């Protein structure tokens, strides 16, 4: 009788300690009360040993999953179709038979009906099902068939299975697992690449958009709705950069400074704003009205010195030249100043540059009597490490980094006839260093210093070609002061205090 169960596929529950085992019955010993399974699976994982033997005392429940072929035929002949399957429970060494607990009474499933039972919902335990599927598929499928185990069903069947670590070269078992994991054969991948350009050429984008627009016009003609504009790229809304304003604003007015007495020349800023030049008479009146409202000469000198020093620091190299790691290459700047307000502006600029670790050489001729602003600025400059000389021979023979010219004055044109003035001009032209003019006059400078840059205050004068490139600095004149002298003024400086000006003829 025990031999009838040989070859059956059974599931043995050995409790929480030993777990679940599945396998094919290879031997049943009634005397020693043992049963042996070949090709066993423990908790859904194939055992390393080919055969496992169980004692009756260790078995809590035994379920027959599949009978051998001969026993199944005999069972089908002896029992009717609706007979409920039996299971054997081993409790304390005593074998008892009871019906299998299922929702509907059915026969023991055949090997060919294993998958149909899954669909109906009467499949056995997950661990038992895994063994039946693996065994039946391995028997019935051809040799070159390969299952894919990267789906949910594969990962959920074996929760306790751990992927072995790869150490050393792959053996046959590892290669088989890789083949199962990574899917189909490489021979099935097509050799030719997909032709994206050819496929895209088949799509007529303009024709499709035209058809859509036609359909929308026909469908929305009676409703008064405006169809969406798709069309060609030229008909679309313009694109904007990250620094452009996308909000619609009022039209830009580029001529926002209007003067009653034009100076005969116009400039424009980098943003396109028009800055007209003014005559020296209007410029002098503007400074006089500003001084009456509180913008004293000392404040104007300080603002002019700061703006000129900022421009000079930029011309000298800025942070690339003036940094703690480059102290051995401190720039040298020579100032040529006269005994007037223009010279005081240069002395103020030299003081600020000296405070920024720039070597300053200040040339100022000796006069018995000088203006009070010049004396005050000179006293402040003497508190710095700058060097003051009164003779042109004391100026350096080697080229300096920058020459700042403040020799000329609007009123005192007779200074050009002085020997010290001619000597200073000759030294500047022979030094071959770039020259920056601060508030130069409009008078003809054919015999003067050839400058590369010129810095104007407030509003520019109509300077000649010898003045070089013109810059404009803000010295803090209020807008109502411009209005009082008849100038319609809107600041062109934006976020800066010194801006370049371009001639409108360029």
Q: What would the pLDDT profile of 101-146 be if each residue is shown by its tens digit?
A: 433 334 444 444 444 444 434 444 444 444 444 444 444 444 444 4
pLDDT, mean over the chain: 77
The first and second tokens of residue 68, run together, are 């051998």
Measured distance CA(158)–CA(165) in Å, rounded: 17
Please name each of the domains of the chain with its CATH number: 2-157 (2.30.30.100), 262-503 (3.40.50.10260)
pLDDT tens profile 26-48: 888 888 889 899 989 988 888 88
pLDDT tens-digit readout, 380-422: 999 999 999 999 999 998 889 999 999 988 777 778 888 999 9
- pLDDT at position 175 over 80: no
At residue 230, does pLDDT exceed 60? no
Residue 446 has a pLDDT of 54
* Higher pLDDT among residues 100 and 378, named by residue: 378
Sequence-distant (≥ 6) Cβ neighbours of residue 184 within 8 angstroms = 146
Over the stretch 285-341, which tens digit does the pLDDT of each residue have?
A: 999 999 999 999 999 999 999 999 999 999 999 888 888 887 778 899 999 999 899
State residue 210's pLDDT score.
Answer: 87
State residue 194's pLDDT score: 82
302: CB partners within 8 A, 6+ apart: 348
- Distance, in Å, from the CA atom of 327 to the CA atom of 321, rounded to the nearest integer, reads 9
Question: Is 299 strand, coil or helix?
Answer: helix
Give residue 475's pLDDT band: very low, low, confident or very high (50, 70, 90): very high
- Whole-prediction pTM value? 0.53
Lowest mean pLDDT among 181-195, 342-356, 440-454, 467-481: 181-195
pLDDT for 82 beyond 60 = no
pLDDT at 157 over 90: no
How high is the pLDDT of residue 437?
94
pLDDT band at 480 (very low <50, low <70, confident <90, very high): very high
% of the chain residues with pLDDT over 70: 70
pLDDT band at 4; cut points 50, 70, 90: confident
Confidence category of residue 188, pLDDT binned at 50, 70, 90:
low
- The helix/strand count (H/E) of the chain reads as 14, 19
pLDDT confidence of 86, banded at 50, 70, 90?
A: very low
pLDDT of residue 311: 95
pLDDT tens-digit series, residues 236-291: 667 778 887 777 777 778 899 999 877 788 999 999 999 999 999 999 999 999 99
Query: Span 8-20, mean pLDDT?
Result: 88
- Write the DSSP assignment of 187-223 as a string of letters: GGS-SSPP-HHHHHHT--HHHHHHHHHHHHHHHTTTT
Tell me what pLDDT residue 104 has.
38
Which of 453, 419, 422, 426 minimizes the C-alpha distance to 439?
A: 453
Find the range with the poorest average confidence among 160-169, 357-366, 457-466. 160-169
Contacts of 419 (CB under 8 A, 6+ apart): none
Intra-chain end-to-end CA distance of the chain, in Å: 117
DSSP string, 434-477: -EEEES--SS--TTS---SEEEEESS-B---GGG-EEEEE----
Q: How far apart are CA 131 and CA 11, in angstroms?
A: 10
């Amino acid at each position: 009788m025990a031999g009838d169960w040989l070859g059956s596929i059974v599931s043995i529950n050995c409790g929480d300690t030993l777990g679940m085992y599945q396998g094919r019955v290879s031997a049943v010993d009634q005397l020693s009360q043992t049963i042996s399974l070949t090709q066993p699976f423990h908790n859904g994982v194939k055992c390393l040993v080919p055969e496992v033997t169980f004692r009756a005392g260790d078995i809590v429940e035994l379920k027959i999953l599949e009978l051998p072929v001969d026993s199944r035929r005999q069972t089908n002949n002896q029992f009717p179709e609706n007979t409920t399957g039996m299971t054997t429970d081993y409790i304390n060494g005593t074998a008892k038979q009871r019906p299998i607990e299922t929702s509907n009474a059915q026969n023991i499933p055949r090997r060919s009906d294993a998958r149909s039972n899954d669909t109906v919902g009467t499949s056995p335990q997950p661990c038992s099902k895994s063994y039946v599927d693996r065994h039946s598929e391995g028997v019935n499928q051809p040799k070159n068939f390969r299952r894919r185990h990267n789906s949910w069903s594969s990962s959920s069947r074996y929760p306790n299975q751990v992927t072995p670590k790869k150490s050393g070269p792959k053996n046959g078992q590892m290669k088989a697992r890789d083949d199962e994991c990574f899917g189909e054969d490489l021979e099935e991948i097509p050799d030719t690449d997909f032709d994206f350009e050819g496929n895209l050429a088949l799509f007529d984008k303009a024709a499709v958009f035209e058809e859509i627009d036609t359909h929308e016009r026909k469908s929305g003609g009676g409703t008064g709705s405006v169809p969406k504009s798709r069309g060609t790229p030229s008909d679309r809304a313009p694109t904007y950069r990250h620094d452009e304003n996308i909000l619609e604003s009022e039209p830009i007015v580029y001529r926002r400074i209007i003067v009653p007495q034009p100076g005969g020349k116009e400039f424009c800023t980098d943003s396109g704003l028009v800055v007209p030049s003014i005559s020296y008479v209007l410029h002098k009146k503007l400074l006089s009205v500003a001084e009456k409202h509180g913008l004293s000469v000392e404040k104007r000198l300080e603002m002019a010195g700061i703006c000129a020093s900022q421009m000079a620091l930029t011309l000298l190299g800025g942070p690339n030249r003036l940094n703690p790691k480059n102290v051995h290459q401190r720039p040298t700047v020579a100032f040529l100043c006269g005994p007037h307000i223009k010279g005081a502006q240069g002395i103020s600029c030299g003081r600020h540059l000296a405070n920024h670790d720039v070597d300053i050489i200040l040339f100022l001729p000796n006069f018995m009597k000088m203006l009070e602003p010049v004396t005050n600025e000179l006293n402040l400059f003497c508190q710095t490490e700058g060097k003051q000389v009164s003779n042109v021979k004391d100026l350096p023979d080697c080229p300096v980094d920058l020459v700042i010219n403040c020799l000329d004055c609007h009123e005192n044109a007779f200074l050009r006839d002085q020997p010290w003035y001619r000597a200073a001009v000759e030294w500047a032209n022979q030094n071959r260093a770039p020259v920056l003019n601060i508030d130069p006059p409009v008078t003809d400078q054919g015999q003067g210093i050839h400058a590369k840059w010129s810095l104007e205050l407030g509003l520019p004068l109509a300077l000649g070609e010898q003045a070089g490139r013109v810059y404009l600095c803000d010295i803090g004149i209020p807008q109502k002061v411009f209005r009082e002298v008849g100038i319609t003024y809107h600041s062109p400086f934006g976020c800066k205090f010194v801006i370049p000006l371009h001639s409108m003829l360029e």
